[in-house]
């Protein structure tokens, strides 16, 4: 019945798009869309209008304060501390993987004896919806019926790029790929689907989005960010939060968000995970705070803390950041949860506390409300003792528990904590998969296309080679079915890799596949000290021989799967086996289409320089193979734009907003970027004209209107991302070369023009001064859109 339903749904969608339905035998691919816009057909005429709507919290405003205060009065100290405790599922279960079962004795110890308020995680791998319902039902039955006060548990999970720990769920491009779409409406729709499928499993809380800024591309969680620019990231982040939480987080198709990792986690000096960052506070506020500020305004209910330290202070004891800024300045009303074992690590890693008891006191007093302990009961025991000794005031405990109960009430857990069986059928819907495919397509970023090699005609002979060509693992990366995304057996069998999608597109007779190299994963479960990706040569000579019999080579390079510490690398250089394969293929003289499937920009300078075309695919998810083939063969017109600056050399790590010096250049230093932030080609062309400002002089309280006309000057319909940058020409702190302030994404048919108008407000012209406060200084500014420039003066 499921197969028939899918065929009917796809047939209906195909008729709506105006082309014949596929035959039932093609069950592993969605039909190519002749409508370039896809199912999410909303143009973003002005990113600021979308953003202002996204942060406008609407919906029911339920006042549960009386219920919360009444409950607090009835709670013992032990029950309150229990609510502040979060344990991993292994603390209440036995068995692993699909054999996991709740252990009644362990469950009673956690929920009844210790009153634990939150459970998280999986036992290694994604579970079916039925298994999730079985587990959540038993937890909530115990919490609501066997405890004195019947307080429900809040279960949390990492739904990073979809409900990735629910088997059969819809997976999307990782955040870096979603940023490349420059389409916040599509981001919002994707997170709505993720929320629906997470809640369908009975889980009301997602540890997402990642709002760290990707300005250190060596960092192994770079792909989990929205890239290097705080404006693009805050717009996409607000869209993510609005999609997860909706206008009523208590509804059965939404979940509470957790903003992470507050803040500065993504900028380690070494590039390695969970290592120190050195970030002056004005720089922290300029670049790393805006995403969290926006998401708090959007109504996010929880925040997760930076696991590392900045300026010598671990995130989990940084009261200035956790309380002074987050609570007093941003006005955050939800609760703050630690990351995995991070209170313990104040002793073992950071050496700021002599023992765990003292670390617990420091973290709670800094502003941690809930501890992801998560593998023992030490936190509860220590905190109860601290309160009894007077080292932590009862008022601080009440404050934390009040916040936790508020979120539980707003999620509707006190009304109905049980999973809803009726929602099971909403996991993995065909229309959700279509949205995922659209996201993957719109993320595809064409960075080079010499002599219009692309799109390829479908009768050309093609060699497909490289370690990422036949890998769903590479298309997805970490946080996919397992923590490291590395368990091939869990991936769906009906999704096409790049190789299989090209074979389907061009015909198997026209396609030769030789891997050339492979990415090897060590046996066993990765630990924090185990690298997850090693490269090896397989049959480079065979790939060279095969190249002699084809017209073009599709060379798929990049990375396997990783996240966190197992993804640490020495630098961004691509592995030697892949470099050897590329050099050998280049020597054949055949035109090369380089497809990059990677979570961070690995250095590919000579390879990219010698390739005829370069397509950046990021980690596009399970529909990524289809999306790559659709772009390569012209069934979709690429419209992605880079959300980061692609370095040419391992030490050439600059961002687009770098300082501009008249007497020095990055070109002379040999670190000119491989590709620029915001870059991305199309199979059509766009022209710009009539950049106009409504005034040349504005006051400190005035708005400035900026208009421009963009025209599709080519012969094919397509989407264009219009990017508005502003330069502060003279400032008391040396200004950035330029800063992104607005963008739009519009669909244009051949010959069609659109005049877009953006409004800049005074805060768009300010910067964070040496006193860590916003500064708006009079002077000259320059506005830039696609090579057009104009100036105005702020009086």
Catalytic residue numbers, as ranges: 339
DSSP state of 702: -
**Burial readout 64-82 (b: 16 or more C-beta within 10 A, e: otherwise):** eeeebeebbeebeeebbbb
Q: Using a CB cutoff of 8 Å and minimum separation of 24, what contacts does 281-284 make? A: 281/772, 282/733, 282/768, 282/769, 282/770, 282/771, 282/772, 283/768, 284/310
Q: Which residues fall within 8 angstroms of residue 484, CB to CB, at 6 or more apart?
A: 478, 526, 532, 561, 562, 563, 566
CA 604-610-616 angle, 5° bins: 50
Q: Which residues fall within 8 angstroms of residue 212, CB to CB, at 6 or more apart?
A: 221, 224, 225, 260, 261, 263, 264, 265, 266, 267, 288, 291
Q: Find the radius of gyration of the CA atoms of the chain.
A: 26
User: Under a CB-based contact definition with an 8 Å cutoff, are residues 745 and 765 in contact?
Assistant: no
State phi, psi for 301 to the nearest 5 degrees: -95, -25
What would the DSSP string read from start to end of 92-157?
A: TEES-GGG-EE-HHHHIIIIIIS---EEE--SSB-B-HHHHHHHHHHHHHHHHHSSSS-PPPEEEE
State phi, psi for 313 to the nearest 5 degrees: -115, 115
Q: Work out the number of other CB atoms within 10 angstroms of the CB of residue 584.
A: 16
Residue with tokens 């700021």: 352
**Burial readout 520-533 (b: 16 or more C-beta within 10 A, e: otherwise):** ebeeeebeeeeebb
Q: From residue 162, how far is each of 16, 171, 600, 658, 676 by CA, in Å?
A: 26, 5, 20, 34, 29
C-alpha to C-alpha distance for 29 and 627, rounded to whole angstroms: 10
User: Under a CB-based contact definition with an 8 Å cutoff, are residues 491 and 532 in contact?
Assistant: no
């Amino acid at each position: 019945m499921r197969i028939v339903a899918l065929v009917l749904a796809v047939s209906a969608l195909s008729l709506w798009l105006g082309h014949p339905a596929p035959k039932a035998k093609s069950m592993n691919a969605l039909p190519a869309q002749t409508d370039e816009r896809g199912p999410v057909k909303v143009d973003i005429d002005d990113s600021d209008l979308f953003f202002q709507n996204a942060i406008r919290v609407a919906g029911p405003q339920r006042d549960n304060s009386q219920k919360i205060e009444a409950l607090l009065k009835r709670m013992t100290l032990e029950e309150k501390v229990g609510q502040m405790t979060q344990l991993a599922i292994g603390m209440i279960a036995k068995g692993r993987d699909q054999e996991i079962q709740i252990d009644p004795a362990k469950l009673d110890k956690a929920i009844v004896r210790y009153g634990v308020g939150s459970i998280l995680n999986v036992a290694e791998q994604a579970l079916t919806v039925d298994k999730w319902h079985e587990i959540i039902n038993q937890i909530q039955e115990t919490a609501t019926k066997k405890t004195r006060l019947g307080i429900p548990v809040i279960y949390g999970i990492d739904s990073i790029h979809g409900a990735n720990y629910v088997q059969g769920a819809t997976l999307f491009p990782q955040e870096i790929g979603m940023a490349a779409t420059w389409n916040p409406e599509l981001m919002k729709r994707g997170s709505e689907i993720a929320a629906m499928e997470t809640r369908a499993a009975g889980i009301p809380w997602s540890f997402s989005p990642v709002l760290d800024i990707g300005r250190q591309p060596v960092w192994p969680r770079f792909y989990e960010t929205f890239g290097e620019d705080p404006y693009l990231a805050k717009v996409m982040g607000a869209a993510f939060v609005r999609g997860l939480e909706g206008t009523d987080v208590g509804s059965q198709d939404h979940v509470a968000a957790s903003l992470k990792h507050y803040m500065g986690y993504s900028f380690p000096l070494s590039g390695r995970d969970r290592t120190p960052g050195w970030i002056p506070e004005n720089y922290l506020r300029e670049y790393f705070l805006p995403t969290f500020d926006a998401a708090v305004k959007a109504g996010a209910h929880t925040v997760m803390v930076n696991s590392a330290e900045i300026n010598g202070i671990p995130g989990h004891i940084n009261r200035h950041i956790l309380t002074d800024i987050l609570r007093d300045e941003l006005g955050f009303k939800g609760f703050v949860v630690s990351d995995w074992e991070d209170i313990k690590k104040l002793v073992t890693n950071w050496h700021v506390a002599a023992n765990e008891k003292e670390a617990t006191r420091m973290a709670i007093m800094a502003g941690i409300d809930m501890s992801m302990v998560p593998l023992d009961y030490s936190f509860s025991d220590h905190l109860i003792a601290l309160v009894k000794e007077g080292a932590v005031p009862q008022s601080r405990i009440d404050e934390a528990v009040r916040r936790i109960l508020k979120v539980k009430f707003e999620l509707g857990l006190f009304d109905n904590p049980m999973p809803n069986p009726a929602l099971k059928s909403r996991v993995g819907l065909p229309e959700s998969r279509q949205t995922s495919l659209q996201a993957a397509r719109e993320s595809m970023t064409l960075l080079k296309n010499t002599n219009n090699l692309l799109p390829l005609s479908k009768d050309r002979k093609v060699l497909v080679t490289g370690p990422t060509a036949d890998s769903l693992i590479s298309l997805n990366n970490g946080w996919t079915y397992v923590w490291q995304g590395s368990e091939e057996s869990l991936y769906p069998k009906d999704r096409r890799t790049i190789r299989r999608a090209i074979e389907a597109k061009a015909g198997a007779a026209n396609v030769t596949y030789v891997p050339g190299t492979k990415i090897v994963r060590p046996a066993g479960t990765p630990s924090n000290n185990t690298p997850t990706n090693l490269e090896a040569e397989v049959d480079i000579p065979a790939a060279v021989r095969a190249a002699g019999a084809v017209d073009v080579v599709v060379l798929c390079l990049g990375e396997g799967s990783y996240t966190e510490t197992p993804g640490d690398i020495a630098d961004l250089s691509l592995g030697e086996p892949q470099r050897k394969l590329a050099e050998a293929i280049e020597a054949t003289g055949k035109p090369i289409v380089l497809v990059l499937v990677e979570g961070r920009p690995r250095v590919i300078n000579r390879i990219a320089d010698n390739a005829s075309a370069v397509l950046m695919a990021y980690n596009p998810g399970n529909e990524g193979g289809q999306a790559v083939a659709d772009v390569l063969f012209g069934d979709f017109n690429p419209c992605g734009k880079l959300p980061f600056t692609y370095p040419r050399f391992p030490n050439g790590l600059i961002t687009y907003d770098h300082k501009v010096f008249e007497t020095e250049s990055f070109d002379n230093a040999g670190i000119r970027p491989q590709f620029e932030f915001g870059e991305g080609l199309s199979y059509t062309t766009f022209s710009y004209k009539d950049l106009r400002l409504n005034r040349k002089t504005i006051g400190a309280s005035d708005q400035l209107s900026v208009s421009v006309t963009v025209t599709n000057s080519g012969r094919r319909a397509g989407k264009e991302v219009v990017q508005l940058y502003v330069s502060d020409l003279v400032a008391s702190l040396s200004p950035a070369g330029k800063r992104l302030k607005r963008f739009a994404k519009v669909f244009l048919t051949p010959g069609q023009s659109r005049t877009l108008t953006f409004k800049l407000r005074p805060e768009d012209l300010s910067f964070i001064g040496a006193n860590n406060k916003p500064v708006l200084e009079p002077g000259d500014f320059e506005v830039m859109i696609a090579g057009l420039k104009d100036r105005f003066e702020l009086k």
